[in-house]
Structure 1
Amino acid sequence: MYHSVGDCAHDPYRVTVSPHRLDRQLDWLRRRGLRGVGVGELLAARARGTGQDLVGLTFDDGYADFVAHALPLLRRHGCGATLFVLPGRLGGHNAWDPLGPRKPLLSVDGIRQAAAEGVEIGSHGLTHVDLTRADDALLRSEVRDSRALLSEMTGAPVHGFCYPYGRVDRRTVEAVRQAGYSYACATDPGDLTGPLALPRVHVGEHDTAWRLHLKHRLHQLHHLHRLRRRPVERV
């Protein structure tokens, strides 16, 4: 789980990775015989019984620096990714982070450029609100309308959703299901399991090769524990 790729000098929310660090992290994956791909591609491979050498890479929020810094590095290392964007904030900035710094978001052209280069485009909602606290009308709009706008924008179906702030509950999962998504990513979905409550590993500027190795192992153990639990009804 990545967010911004750029200057890390002022990063109170730890959402930024420098281009140099991302380059090193992608190199670490490739040296281990792993390849980063979009989540949709990863899930399709797993459904076929393959994909043991694949790792899902996600970039949340749709920062403009994705095209400037992340995309060339993904291309260099032969990797793909899923970019979760906010069609209600096109060309805006991350106003939901009160401490800043202000980071510009992708415009329509930037999203289309990423899609044209093979990046999977997913929805992060319309405006980055906590959906677990939204009323029913706002929840439906954030989930359903964002999918329709992105599909119209890219000319392709949108299969993936990412819960803002990583927060999810049964009501938001059901809204995502009804909107027609086939998968959704959270951070740590707790007791929720299944394709609409996928956990992810946060990757930051301080994640060296050794820290990545530890996170990878801990995630594998956590995943095995989740597999042993009974899936929540309809999730």
Structure 2
Amino acid sequence: MPVRDTVSQGALTSGVAHDPGRRGLPRWSPRVLMYHYFGAPPGPDPEKLFIDRPMFEAQLDHLDRTGWRALSLDEYLAALDGAPTPRRSFLLTIDDGHESVGRLAAPLLAERGIPSVLFVCPGLLGDHARWTPPYREERLSPADDLRALPGLGMELGVHSWNHTRMVDLDASALEQHVRRSREALESATGVTARAFAYPYGTHDLGSRTAVAEAGYDAAFAVAREHGRYAVDRIFVQSTDSLFAFKCKLTAGYRLVSRVGGRAWKLRHGVRSAVARVRPAGAGRRA
């Protein structure tokens, strides 16, 4: 039976709160940046995932020049627990484990002494981003490449088994995407993941509870902030100018993003209604 915002028996017996990490994060908590692929895209980039090297360097230069302090995952977790942290501080995260991370991003970050967290799908190491047609030929880093990244200051986390949307999953599926994925990553790389990132940024009570019960220290979403086990992140896109990047670092942008994230049910409802009334054969917007 699918989990639909009900608390599992394990949550009741393990002492996990009915909704783990439910208390929202304050607006002044450290920003979390979310990247995906790096370099020039080999073809169309409809989801705006590729950040080219000049822009990535310009963004890092801006952060350094304006006094933003990069945090390690240890420092970020301490901030969640109440440790004093500069207002201008950030955690840099990367999703999917594209091969360009080891080739381009990790060396650049290491040169600048910027720690980061890379979220990978243990069921697809060395494979391709097969979950989305426009990127199905994009190669993902194999285990051998991932093993070298912690030495460059890049910690490894879990991004589900194979980039499955973490909503309405039954207990068996949650076990695969949360616990077994963590075990597989440790077997392949020797790293015990401490952080989880929800594919597509979507989550529900079942997935948040499963992540908390598995012993992860934190989990990351996108705009749908829900406390420690669904931290909101800033999606850095290929179309962002440096001005847009600066705007995304502001408290105002964070507030608007969170409000938009909480309205996801309304947005989905509107899309469903439009789909029902759209004439047969009408074209869809990309």
Using structure 1 for the length normalisation, give the TM-score.
0.87
State which of 144, 149, 157 in structure 2 corresponds to 1:109: 144
How far off its partner does 1:50 sit?
2.2
Between structure 1 and structure 2, the one with the greater Rg is 2
State which of 14, 23, 31 in structure 1 corresponds to 2:48: 14
Q: Which SS does the other structure have where 1:96 is aligned? A: coil
**Change over 3 Å in CA distance of 1:36–1:10 after alignment to 2:** farther
Alpha-carbon distance in structure 2 between the residues aligned to 1:114 and 1:161: 17
Gaps of 5+ in 1: 226-235
8 Å Cα contact 2:203/2:221 also seen in 1: yes
Q: Does 1:35 align with 2:69?
A: yes
Tell me the amino acid that sits aligned with residue 50 of structure 1. Answer: T
Residue in 2 that maps onto 1:52: 87
Alpha-carbon distance in structure 1 between the residues aligned to 2:254 and 2:247: 10
Tell me the percent identity: 34
How far off its partner does 1:41 sit?
3.0
Alpha-carbon distance in structure 2 between the residues aligned to 1:153 and 1:44: 28
Please give the per-residue CA displacement for 1:85-114, whole angstroms capped at 9, x wherever unaligned.
111101000000112352110111111111
Q: Which SS does the other structure have where 1:161 is aligned? A: strand
8 Å Cα contact 2:178/2:210 also seen in 1: yes
How far off its partner does 1:51 sit?
4.1
How do 1:132-143 and structure 2 match up within 5 A? 132-143=167-178
Residue in 2 that maps onto 1:62: 97
State which of 153, 162, 182 in structure 1 corresponds to 2:197: 162
Tell me the amino acid that sits aligned with residue 33 of structure 1. Answer: G
Alpha-carbon distance in structure 1 between the residues aligned to 2:51 and 2:92: 14
Alpha-carbon distance in structure 1 between the residues aligned to 2:239 and 2:157: 27
8 Å Cα contact 1:40/1:120 also seen in 2: no
- CA RMSD, aligned part only? 2.2
Q: How many residues align?
A: 224
How far off its partner does 1:39 sit?
3.9
Residue in 2 that maps onto 1:200: 233
Using structure 2 for the length normalisation, give the TM-score.
0.72
Which contiguous aligned blocks of 4+ residues in structure 1 show a shift greater than 6 angstroms? none
Alpha-carbon distance in structure 2 between the residues aligned to 1:154 and 1:60: 17
Please give the per-residue CA displacement for 1:126-173, whole angstroms capped at 9, x wherever unaligned.
111112043321121111111112233343431100001111111110
Q: Which SS does the other structure have where 2:103 is aligned? A: helix
Q: Which SS does the other structure have where 2:229 is aligned? A: coil
**Change over 3 Å in CA distance of 1:50–1:183 after alignment to 2:** same
Gaps of 5+ in 2: 1-33, 260-286
Alpha-carbon distance in structure 1 between the residues aligned to 2:123 and 2:175: 14
